[in-house]
A and B are shown apart, each in its own frame.
Chain A
Amino acid sequence: MNENLPLKRRVFNAAAKGCVWAAAFAALALVAFILLEVLIRGIPQISVALLTSVPSVTRKIDGILPFILNTVYVVALTILIVLPLGVGAAVYLNEYAQNKKLIRVIEFTTETLAGIPSIIYGLVGMLVFSQTMGFQTSLLSGCLTLVVMVLPTIIRTTQESLKTVPQSYREGALGLGARKWHIVRTIVLPQSLDGIVTGCILAIGRIVGESAALLFTAGSAKKLLTGVKAYTRSGATLSVALYLYAAEESNFEVAWAIAAVLLVLVLIINSLAKLTQKTLKRRDA
């Protein structure tokens, strides 16, 4: 069929097709290059000693244990706070709210929150949590800042999943005399659990990768923090530590090691999110 086309159209077809294939493969090659480059440079730097020691300038020890722990602390508290808030907001939007204008305002502000750059979250978090509320530069200030930052992620994924719960389930329960909270608690929320889990995983991914919002709120300390008291102290997460080692100390061995650790975490988080999303889709079908 193509042979009958005029030359001009044949050239256009071939050129356009070529460009599209080239772009797609460029994207694939780029990702492969990034993965290989980070892993090849980073993995040889990772050792048990690095993963389990506290860095010390005087004794010339490199270690990333405090940063790993800080990341775990920050992820845990942030999710603990944001999960009820985000799920609650989504339930309100989908199950309770009657006023269309109010729904639109909440959805608009949620979109707005998703678009605000993390450096602005960092500044406002510093002003509100560290200074006005007096939490100082601490993991707690960092967590509270991140709560606001990842709130839209949780709200959106939960809302999407609430929408997939068939209306007939609610009507059936209503017909049996159940009240709203009872329906939400026993039918709607259990049915949308996988969407909530997906939202959590996506939020964890954002928290692990965040640096600009934490630099001025959670700070950059490299000490080992343990227990609940850790939240009152300043500490760097893995991403912040990567920035400090690369940009301020030019210690690229440790920086590449952290980059490799982060990338492995991101790979795991990504595949987990994919997995839960798949079960969500299967249920839809």
Chain B
Amino acid sequence: MTQVLQNRAAAGAQPAGGQKPGLQQLRRFFQTAVELTMNAVFFLCGMVAVASVALITLYMIASGLPAIRTIGVVDFLLGQVWASTAADPQYGILPFILSSLAGTGGAILLGVPVGLATALFLSKMAPRRLAGPIGAAVELLAGIPSVVYGLLGMRILVPAVSRVFGLASGACLLAAILVLAIMILPSIVSVSITALNAVPPEYEEGSLALGATPTETYFKVSIPAARSGILTGVVLGIGRAVGEAMAVIMVAGNVANMPTSLFRSVTFLTTAIAKEMGYAGGLQRQALFSIALVLFVFIMIINAILNFGLKGGKEQ
């Protein structure tokens, strides 16, 4: 009650008894000033994200374009040889682009079925006692730092790959795909669960009433009904896989090969930057920024699909 009274007095809704009118006015003026200031402060906070995106885009373009101009768009994007430290340096990033695409595609191919099945299990089929621990476990996967995945990949997965397939070194595209598939699992699972939970129960009840078994209902009614949400999860997963650097650099072998086989050592767009940025100078360094620009364009396309393509689809 006292709080309320104080509030009233503070807001100046009622003249507090015994105060001089001049003081009252001053107080109101002061309060209006505070209100206006806070309004501006919150507005500025809101604009930080906008300014950051603008700044990042500007810097990416400004630092990425010079090398592309020097090297030539076609030679840069479609050149098959990256030899940045050779006497006659060549800067073709097609191997990186294709490796990134192959790695991401492979991770999606492996991760999506497992993730979707896990989501279906957690959303519809799991007994209560199992849903808790498995859900928590999947959430934990999202929190594990990428360098820890990288270390596990380097010391356990890579030797295992080389043993199983009889390779001299197991650091190859396949190892990167396996690590990425695990890393994108949590985003696919959590987004798919949300989508599956949002399927109207009438759809499922109708299917059950028509004689379909629960399993048939989940696969033939729930999943199709939730497909736009599931697709969002897949696109999020693609974004994570394309952008991952540290885990990939530790398992992919980092040779600028074309990804012609699962067992070749490859370099992704991200790892090409991370590997050479530490010591690069001159045109080589500029070319690394150009690689980042290409990566940035990929990510912005994925973002646009997420924000416009999929959301628009949901509203329809």
Contact = CB atoms under 8 A, between A and B. Distances in A.
A16 B219 contact: yes
Interface centre among B46, B155, B249, B278 (most CB of A within 10 A): B46
Given A31-B140, A243-B147, A266-B140, A127 B302 contact: no
Contacts of A169: none
Contacts of A30: 141, 182
B45 interface: yes
A44 to B, nearest CB: 15
Nearest to A29: B137
Interface stretch (A48-56, A61-69, A208-216): A208-216
Chain A facing B: main interface SS: helix
A120 B299 contact: yes
Interface in A190-212: 205, 208-212
B257 interface: no
Interface string B144-165: 1111101110111000000000
A111 B307 contact: yes
Given A28-B133, A119-B273, A180-B39, A20 B139 contact: no
B87 to A, nearest CB: 26
Interface centre among B12, B218, B245 (most CB of A within 10 A): B245
Contacts of B50: 105-106, 109
Contacts of B273: 119, 123
A115 B298 CA distance: 11
Given A123-B289, A182-B11, A92 B114 contact: no
B213 interface: yes
B151 A256 contact: yes
Interface residues of A, number: 95
A262 B145 contact: yes
A221 interface: no
Contacts of A152: 49
Interface stretch (B19-27, B91-99, B117-125): B117-125
A111 B45 contact: no
A157 to B, nearest CB: 14
B215 A16 contact: yes
A13 interface: yes
Given A34-B144, A177-B11, A179-B31, A24 B49 contact: no
Interface in B52-109: 52-53, 55-56, 59-60, 63
Contacts of A46: none
A266 B49 contact: no
Given A181-B38, A182-B10, A85 B59 contact: no
A205 B47 CA distance: 25
B39 A209 contact: no
B16 interface: no
B303 A9 contact: no
A20 B114 CA distance: 8
Contacts of B260: none
Nearest to B254: A247
Interface of A: 1-2, 5, 9, 12-13, 16-17, 19-24, 26-28, 30-32, 34-35, 37-38, 41, 84-89, 91-93, 95-97, 102, 105-106, 108-113, 115-120, 123-124, 127-128, 148, 151-152, 155, 173, 176-182, 184, 186, 205, 208-212, 215-216, 239-240, 242-243, 246-247, 252, 255-256, 259, 262-263, 266-267, 269-270, 274
Interface of B: 4, 7-8, 10-14, 31, 34-35, 38-39, 41-50, 52-53, 55-56, 59-60, 63, 113-114, 117-118, 120-122, 125-126, 130, 133-134, 136-141, 143-148, 150-152, 154-156, 182, 185, 189, 213, 215-216, 218-219, 239, 242-246, 249-250, 270, 273-274, 277-278, 289, 292, 295-296, 299-300, 302-303, 306-307
